[in-house]
Structure 1
Amino acid sequence: MENIATPVNEEFLSNGEIEWQPLSLTLVEYPKGDLLGKFFAFTSLAPFGIGAGFVTLILFRRDLHTIAFFIGTLINEVLNIVLKHIICESRPLIRGHLYNEYGMPSSHSQFVWFFSIYVLYFFIIRLHHINNNSIISALWRIIIVGSCFTLALIVCAGRVYLHYHTTAQVVVGGIVGFVFATIWFTVVHRILTPLFPQLVSLKVCEMLMIRDTTLIPNVLWFEYTTSRQEARTRGRKLAALKPTQ
């Protein structure tokens, strides 16, 4: 059997009509032995981690604002593809068949700055009604927003360091991400949010258990206290049903 399979495989692999192409979506190259380059290569995968986080939140939380935020990131990516094919500026380093797309503007830069600016608007505008001026609450906001901006700067620096983009391509990507984040947050906050109560009342949303948590200032604390209270209530009921010795 092995003697029969080997010639077939060799013929298949040597077939000149088959063009093999790697999945460059998650492929990041860095100079061998360069620890800083390796670090930047890992941080370049941050958008995929954020995307996975979006999917997880949508599946387990099913909040309309999270869904709207995620839709904005998808539109932002489509906008980046359109701009790349309009500008048609190549990347600073040609990597053969690994990257065939253009480099202006940087999709990584546009993504991380869209995400960071949107998060900033969310904390400044969307959560302004929270009457919680504690030091811990303010500290958490600073940490979250600061982490987003720090990650954005690191990702942008890495794209230039690894020669995937020029400085101009990264800067333009950041500007586009900033502008579109402003536009999309305005659309969500001014137009879509007032429609959320009507949307969650639709049959399809009820079937999918989609909810609107706009009026809940601290969803995490609300879910914690609600589940804790429900657990205590059920515990008392179970204790009452147990036969007395």
Structure 2
Amino acid sequence: MTSPDEDELHLKDNVHDFNWVPLSLTHVEYPKGDYLGKFLALISLSPFGIISGFIALILFRRDVHTIVFFIGTVCNEMLNLILKNILSEGRPMQRVNYTEYGMPSGHSQFSWFFATYIICFVCIRLHHMNNNSTLETVWKTVIVLSCVSFAVVVSISRIYLQYHTWKQVICGTIVGIMFGSFWFGLTHVVLTPYFPIIVSWRISEILLIRDTTLIPNVLWFEYTNARQETRARSRKLVSMKSQ
């Protein structure tokens, strides 16, 4: 029978035998003491925040269009992995235990896919108001500029941190814009007419999946319905107490 000290020593030896590698998905490095580099490194993590937002929206909103948008995001990432393995171009700076190919830039492709889809959605599909007012034009412009700024900063961060070359980032930008436009066109023209059929499926009813495509202002619709329901229940509660 071995002693506890011998067991601990044996365990440490086994641990050192493993080849430990960092998870490249979230592994971002920046020059020590470079505050701009640190900021850009944090910006590089924004796609993971967007993915988390997608998951939260799908869980709590159950909107079929959001689900299709998320599927497009997953397809965009799969396309990026396929292109990287086909082109097999290395990154500008070799890092320890970071061997993923760099052409095209995954972050750049993701950010421009997301920005392109949102811009198309806001300018073509989303009708917040029933008239073409100045306010509607202003908030649409703000959203478009915000999306473009986000994608530009993410792209620049990958070059600044030497994870990609200009060529790799530009390639990712082009692929992201093209696939974002394609996926929006596919969703808007081909898939949207089938949304009412999809939400009528038994599995969709069980999962409470809904289609809000024909509602021009979902936020206002939910606000007014929640207010009406609250008032109705309040009146009912008062009526029950008075009996």
Scaled by the length of structure 1, the TM-score of the pair is: 0.94
Give unmatched runs, 5+ long, in structure 2.
none
Deviation at 1:148, TM superposition (A): 1.5
Corresponding residue for 2:33?
33
* Residues 220-231 of structure 1 aligned to structure 2 (within 5 Å): 220-231=219-230
Establish whether residue 7 from structure 1 lines up as the match of residue 6 from structure 2.
Answer: no
| SS across alignment from 1:242 | helix
In structure 2, how many angstroms separate the alpha carbons of the residues matched to 1:193 and 1:207?
Answer: 21
Give unmatched runs, 5+ long, in structure 1.
none
In structure 1, how many angstroms separate the alpha carbons of the residues matched to 2:229 and 2:166?
Answer: 54
Deviation at 1:22, TM superposition (A): 1.3
Deviation at 1:44, TM superposition (A): 0.2
Corresponding residue for 2:214?
215
Corresponding residue for 2:106?
107
Corresponding residue for 1:162?
161
* Residues 86-125 of structure 1 aligned to structure 2 (within 5 Å): 86-97=86-97, 99-125=98-124
Scaled by the length of structure 2, the TM-score of the pair is: 0.94
Report how many aligned residue pairs link the two structures. Answer: 241
| Cα deviations by residue, 1:56-94 (Å, 9 ceiling, x for unpaired) | 001111111111110000000000011111111100000
Conserved 8 A contact 2:41-2:157: yes
In structure 1, how many angstroms separate the alpha carbons of the residues matched to 2:176 and 2:142?
Answer: 21
In structure 2, how many angstroms separate the alpha carbons of the residues matched to 1:6 and 1:122?
Answer: 58
Conserved 8 A contact 2:113-2:179: yes
| Aligned residue identity for 1:90 | G
What is the root-mean-square deviation in Å for CA atoms of aligned residues?
A: 1.5
| Aligned residue identity for 1:9 | L
In structure 1, how many angstroms separate the alpha carbons of the residues matched to 2:236 and 2:169?
Answer: 60
Deviates further, 117-126 or 141-150 = 141-150
Corresponding residue for 1:73?
73
Deviates further, 152-161 or 124-133 = 124-133
Conserved 8 A contact 2:37-2:161: yes
In structure 2, how many angstroms separate the alpha carbons of the residues matched to 1:93 and 1:61?
Answer: 42
| Cα deviations by residue, 1:166-225 (Å, 9 ceiling, x for unpaired) | 011001100000001111111101110000111111111011110000001111111111
Deviation at 1:100, TM superposition (A): 1.4
Deviation at 1:4, TM superposition (A): 3.9
Deviation at 1:147, TM superposition (A): 1.5
In structure 1, how many angstroms separate the alpha carbons of the residues matched to 2:139 and 2:16?
Answer: 57
Corresponding residue for 1:151?
150
In structure 2, how many angstroms separate the alpha carbons of the residues matched to 1:8 and 1:176?
Answer: 51
Corresponding residue for 2:47?
47
Establish whether residue 194 from structure 1 lines up as the match of residue 188 from structure 2.
Answer: no
